[in-house]
Amino acid sequence: MTHDESGITAAEAAAADRFVERALLAHRAIAAAQAAHVAVLAEAHAWARSVAASRPNATSRTGDLELRDLAAQVGAALRVSDRTIQRRMDEAATVSELFPTTLRAWSSGEIDRGHVSAIVDAGLPLTRPEDREWFERRALDRANELTPAQLRPVARTLAEHAHPRSLDERHARARGQRRVVVTDLDDGMARLIADLPAVLAYGIRDRLTTLAHHAREAAAPETAGDRGTSARDSTVGGPSEQDSTVGDTPPPDVDDTRSLDEVRADVFADLLLAGVPTPHGETGQNVAARVQVTIPVLTVLGRSSEPCLLVGYGPIPLADALELAATAPGWDRVLTSPVDGSVLAVDRYRPSSSLRRLLRARDEHCRFVGCRLAVSRCDADHTIDHAHGGQTRADNLATLCRRHHVLKHRTQWQVEQVGRGLLRWQSPGGRSYVDRPAPMVRFLSDADPPPF
């Protein structure tokens, strides 16, 4: 499907794939060993509790003493703090008792520690066993084809569907716990942590990224080049989608050797301490944050409990989503399939490119396997090259970040579209991977009529 410029031979592709196979086997072995370690700690935790319960006049204090004693013995043997071991034993017991199917999948090497963490973190608020079982089964189905980072927002959304209490109610309580704390680091450094509503945190990070790019570009004018077709995010009080896309990698600047993370941190400090980013404050004064939010119309009408979704995070309260929509310069109406949530069509209440809007709503991020770079910093790429007869249509376009755009066109990676936005990638070694667009997640019972 792509024009190959790598010149790699079949023998070289086979040799590369052997490294892939060895790495895969080692990764699965590590995952299985980690799961075995967790299983041992969970069993030790249960044993310590049972021993404590069998003691005459057992109390919670004596039970904790048995656990501390065993943790001290294990910690001494492993040369790890007994406090750390006890914490790990508690965590292991949680996984073993509340998410047993996840532990079994981990033990087989199907998933790794990152996937387990995403599932457990999202599922812990579910206190009813039947809710956890429903959530765990569906989360594991998705874990087999997602990275841990991709799984987290999906798991949050699944957990939200299973939770008996509304997100608005829970968010109101959590919002009352927002705070800013500082933790000390070594070498004269410290970490500033802010607990904020997700829409604010993601908006702050996006604005810092945009301002950091402006600061880097101010000293070195951008050279003309082929940027491809930009698939730009909707903005919240910010630039229009006709603005050029700023790539994730800043242009070279011989006078500024800071990484993008360093510039982001410096702009963050400048904004808080001086009010404007220095030394180029004028470049970002009118730049607002860009976040993409999905608001189900039936939820707005009070006819559905379908959650609003912040792209890259997961469910957010309806009030926060509506506040963003009220200040947006324009918004899209997205028609989705009632069966699988795939994007079917997009129209808008302000004129612009409908095709770019559809790609933005469907893809949300770079569509290469495992990449989560936001669609606002990606290019719209022809799956079948335009020069080779590929048409500029939704079923021949997908958003790719610059790194993976280049990889597709200059190596033997192949990609094809197989319908409803699904991409099937094939590695130079012949391995196949399916990347699915993030659906507008919904679950209909057999008795529920289609919502149209």
Q: What is the CATH number of the domain that holds 125?
A: 1.10.10
Q: Which residues form the domain of 100?
A: 24-166
The per-residue pLDDT for 275 is 66
Cα 359 from Cα 440, distance rounded (Å): 14
Is the pTM here over 0.85, yes or no?
A: no
CA pair distance 83, 47, nearest whole angstrom: 18
Across the beta sheet with 432-435, what order do the strands follow?
414-417, 423-426, 432-435
Q: Is the CB of residue 112 less than 8 Å from the CB of residue 148?
A: yes
The domain tally of the chain equals 3
Determine the pLDDT at residue 58: 64
Over the chain (452 residues), the average pLDDT of each successive run of 10 is 62 92 96 97 94 77 82 94 95 97 97 97 94 95 92 92 83 86 87 88 86 75 42 36 38 63 83 62 47 74 75 81 69 62 56 69 89 84 81 85 88 90 91 82 44 40
Report pLDDT for 206. Answer: 86
Residue 327: per-residue pLDDT: 65
Residue 291 structure tokens? 């976040």
Rounded Cα gap, residues 61 and 42, in angstroms: 20
Q: How many Å apart are CA 328 and CA 238, to the nearest integer?
A: 8
Residues 29, 112: Cα–Cα separation, whole Å: 10
What DSSP letter does each residue of 68-116 carry, written as one string? Answer: HHHHHHHHHHHTS-HHHHHHHHHHHHHHHHH-HHHHHHHHTTSS-HHHH
User: Are residues 152 and 49 part of one domain?
Assistant: yes
User: Rounded to an integer, what distance in angstroms lies between the CA atom of residue 368 and that of residue 10?
Assistant: 23
State the Cα–Cα distance between residues 124 and 139, nearest whole angstrom.
13
> CA 430 to CA 412: how far, in whole Å?
10
Q: Are residues 205 and 139 in the same domain?
A: no
137 and 34 in a common domain: yes
The encoded tokens of residue 238 equal 């910010």
Tokens 């031979």 — which residue? 9
Residue where the block lists tokens 């979704």: 309
Q: Output the CA–CA distances (angstroms, integers) from residue 435 to 67, 147, 345, in the order listed.
A: 45, 11, 20
Are 227 and 145 within one domain?
A: no
Residue 347 lies in a domain: yes
126 with 67, same domain: the answer is yes
Q: Give, for 181, the enclosing helix (H) or strand (E).
A: strand 179-184
How many Å apart are CA 361 and CA 345, to the nearest integer? 9
Does one domain contain both 346 and 446?
yes
262 falls within a domain: yes
| Same-domain status, 212 and 161 | no
Tell me the three state secondary structure of residue 323: helix
Residue 209 φ then ψ, to 5°: -65, -45
> For residue 235, what are its two tokens?
């903005």
Peptide bond into 296 cis (omega under 30): no
